[in-house]
């Protein structure tokens, strides 16, 4: 059985070991390839300051590339008795290269290793989330343009209010994603700073070149203060969780609308048959289970920032084992949100809309404001026009005119989808994912 990196002459109680390790080995599989990348940058820097020989560096890089390839294929395993991903990588190197493998930890702590791994993992995941959000955005804009002339009721207090359109409905969620993408961009920029070299939170007496590892890993800058680098554990996850939660909030609201509008009492949209499920007892049922599950999963994701806060909220500066538990709720959240985004994109692209909703007379009062505005344009004061139309409605004399003409920015007749798309392009360009991608590619080709 492998010895712990920190173990000396006394072996830890087995029950204590099981409790303290918890799900760390399972969670660390998410981080494996990122841990290897971090080690490649770190040892390249160690060689530059004289703590590794050139030939030792080449041997280590060659073996680390093999481990990276194993992790990329999903075949990386943390063995029984090995505490975490950092220990497993070092063990594999030591088995293959002997004492050279023991040199890679100089100037590091597992504290800054896991900080680094989490940041490398998170920034890669944020890129995938941003791409999935952009794909959903494009689909919503496309549907908004496709159905921009199809009117539907707008609601306040769940009572019919004023005319809306499917152009407005799809486009509203598209613009919501633009703001959500700004949150993702801010989270990415906070994440994309290098903590490596902060060690256990107090730096090192080795003459580490932290600027070099920042460049090698494609970070925008350093977490300069080593104490703050350690304080960032939990804070980074919380900030990213808020960004994920705001995307989830948009999707959850869209899912609720889609479920409601798909019901027979509304009949505004029809979900694809292959995206619905049946009942074991009612043969007519076509249930919107996918959107219901999306709604539930996204509502759960909106609780993630609070969960992280409750774990990290009352901790002073410095490292504490409490922070380990954040991994269990944070690392799987990205895939859950990506799944929701992909499912939503597919169904939105296939959804069919009812283009004769307003033929039903019960929607006639939607056009009461249009009549008020017509009278105002003819010279009647607004309050008088409002009262007249109200009295006509009460007396049963209201006659609606369904020919409407809205021209101002963002209205039924002027959706501004081109402006919304421009906003999204500007936000996407602001991420600058190419820096991290080019750096990681260069490291793997060393």
Catalytic residue numbers? 157, 279
The contacts found for 202-209 with CB under 8 angstroms, 24 or more apart, are 202/226, 202/227, 204/107, 206/49, 206/51, 206/106, 206/107, 207/49, 208/45, 208/49, 208/107, 209/45, 209/48, 209/49
Task: From residue 194, give the alpha-carbon distance in Å to each of 40, 58, 160, 211, 222.
Answer: 14, 24, 53, 9, 4
Residue that has been written with the tokens 């303290």 in this structure: 20
Record the tokens describing residue 295, joined without a space: 């709604």
Ordered DSSP codes for 247-304: HHHHHHHHHHHHHHHHSTTT-SEE--GGG-B--SS-TT--B-HHHHHHHHHHHHHTTH
Helical H runs in 3-31?
A: 14-21, 24-28
CA-based Rg of the chain, rounded to a whole angstrom? 28
Rounded (10°) CA dihedral 303, 305, 310, 314:
-160
Which of 431, 426, 242 has its CA nearest to residue 337?
242
Rounded-to-integer distance, Cα 75 and Cα 55, Å: 28
Residue that has been written with the tokens 């509203």 in this structure: 172
């Amino acid at each position: 059985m492998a010895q712990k990196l920190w173990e000396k002459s006394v072996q830890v109680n087995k029950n204590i070991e099981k409790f303290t390790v918890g799900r760390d080995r399972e969670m660390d599989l998410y981080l494996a390839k990122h841990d290897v990348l971090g080690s490649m940058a770190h040892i390249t820097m160690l060689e530059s300051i004289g703590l590794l020989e050139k030939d030792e560096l080449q041997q280590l890089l060659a073996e680390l590339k093999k481990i990276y390839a194993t992790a990329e294929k999903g075949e990386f395993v943390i063995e029984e008795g090995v505490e975490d991903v950092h220990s497993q990588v070092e063990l594999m190197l030591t088995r293959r290269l002997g004492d050279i493998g023991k040199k890679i930890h100089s100037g590091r702590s597992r504290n800054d290793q896991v900080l680094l791994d989490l940041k490398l993992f998170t920034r890669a995941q944020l890129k995938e989330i941003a791409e999935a959000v952009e794909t959903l955005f494009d689909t919503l804009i496309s549907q908004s343009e496709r159905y921009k002339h199809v009117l539907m009721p707008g609601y306040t207090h769940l009572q019919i209010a004023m005319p809306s359109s499917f152009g407005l409905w799809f486009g509203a969620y598209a613009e919501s994603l633009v703001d959500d993408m700004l949150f993702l961009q801010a989270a990415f920029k906070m994440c994309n700073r290098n903590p490596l070299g902060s060690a256990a939170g107090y730096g090192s007496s080795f003459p580490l070149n932290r600027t070099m590892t920042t460049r090698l890993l494609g970070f925008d800058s350093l977490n300069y203060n080593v104490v703050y680098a350690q304080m960032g554990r939990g804070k980074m996850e919380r900030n990213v969780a808020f960004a994920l939660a705001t995307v989830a909030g948009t999707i959850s609201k869209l899912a609720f609308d889609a479920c409601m509008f798909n019901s027979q009492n509304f009949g505004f949209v029809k979900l694809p048959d292959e995206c619905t499920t049946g009942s074991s007892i009612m043969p007519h049922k076509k249930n919107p289970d996918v959107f219901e599950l999306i709604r539930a999963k996204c509502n759960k994701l909106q609780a993630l920032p609070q969960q992280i806060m409750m774990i990290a909220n009352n901790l002073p500066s410095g490292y504490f084992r409490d922070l380990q538990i954040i991994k269990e709720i944070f690392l799987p959240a990205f895939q859950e949100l990506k799944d929701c985004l992909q499912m939503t994109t597919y169904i939105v692209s296939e959804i069919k809309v009812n283009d004769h909703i307003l033929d039903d007379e019960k929607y006639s009062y939607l056009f009461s404001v249009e009549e008020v505005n017509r009278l105002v344009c003819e010279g009647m004061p607004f309050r008088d026009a409002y009262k007249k139309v109200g009295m006509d409605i009460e007396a049963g004399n209201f006659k609606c005119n369904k020919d409407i003409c809205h021209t101002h920015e963002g209205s039924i007749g002027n959706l501004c989808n081109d402006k919304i798309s421009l906003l999204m392009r500007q936000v996407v360009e602001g991420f600058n994912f190419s820096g991290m991608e080019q750096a990681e590619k260069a490291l793997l080709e060393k």
